[in-house]
Structure 1
């Protein structure tokens, strides 16, 4: 009997009633705002040549509740041809993420790199469908390495801080 009592020596992380393991999960995803403009229709469909396409991204996050964060991927696309707008799309695609027991130093990398990586394929589809529904070939954005973008932005901020003059010196 003594052997049986001592045989179960595995440690249960929930034995004390606390769940301390880091957890992250998507609760929901949604189109927060979508605008498609085709200001030169129907003439635009007669234009010759490929339009010049400019794509801009912006990533933001905010706390939406206890252990819940909204991450928004904003994509602005403008297609110009012969100095006229062929089409313009503005998409704000967001997701709610539940985050528990995430170390403070890992919160920003998750919200600004990993969460956008999860949202991007869905936002890409919404954007492609909107452009196609506007009468143009679907705009299929290339995959984006949000982790590398985050690291690059972080490095740029650190470089700017290192190069800044201390206050009071000229």
Structure 2
């Protein structure tokens, strides 16, 4: 039985339970925390905007960014901007930067890059989606339910485009 202060996480099934914490050389990735980094909700034409007829034109943009924080920890930011406009003007703008802290140990660089730009956004997206829906509802409009996003498919598509253009595929991806 391991000491209480010595927690061993064995993701590969081969770790020796007698190794001290940190001596494990198996690959490990985990979500440490997630949070709202920035949230802006604008309703610039209220109360007139509640009278605008017809369906608004809704534009959704998202961007993924990752930066090293300290040691084996990276911050992944999923930025989502939703803008709804009618002929008479803007109904609302929701701008969310939703973050996740990702811990990675003993992970090859290319797999780590893929996790940070494809898998981590997939993990935190449902939480960011709920925040956007609630923000739009709290602005006085029906909740905006964002469609699921294939982050892995977008990652591979952008990777292929970068390789075809002779760019460094490991550089930050930018807007997806």
**Within 2, Cα distance between the matches of 1:59 and 1:12?**
34
The structure where helix makes up a greater share of residues is 1
**Partner residue, 1:131:** 136
* Distance apart, 1:45 and its partner CA: 0.6
- What TM-score, normalized to structure 2? 0.82
**Within 2, Cα distance between the matches of 1:56 and 1:66?**
31
**1:100-143, Cα deviation, whole Å (9 max, x unpaired):** 11111211100000000001000000000000000000000000
**Partner residue, 1:157:** 162
* Distance apart, 1:83 and its partner CA: 5.0
**1:37-74, Cα deviation, whole Å (9 max, x unpaired):** 00000001111100000000100000111110000000
* Distance apart, 1:13 and its partner CA: 3.6
**Partner residue, 2:59:** 54
- What TM-score, normalized to structure 1? 0.85
1:22 and 2:19 equivalent?
Answer: no
**Partner residue, 2:91:** 86
**Within 2, Cα distance between the matches of 1:38 and 1:100?**
44
Secondary structure of residue in 2 paired with 1:161: coil
**Partner residue, 2:45:** 40
CA RMSD of aligned residues (A): 1.6
**1:13-35, Cα deviation, whole Å (9 max, x unpaired):** 43676311111111110000000
1:120 and 2:117 equivalent?
Answer: no
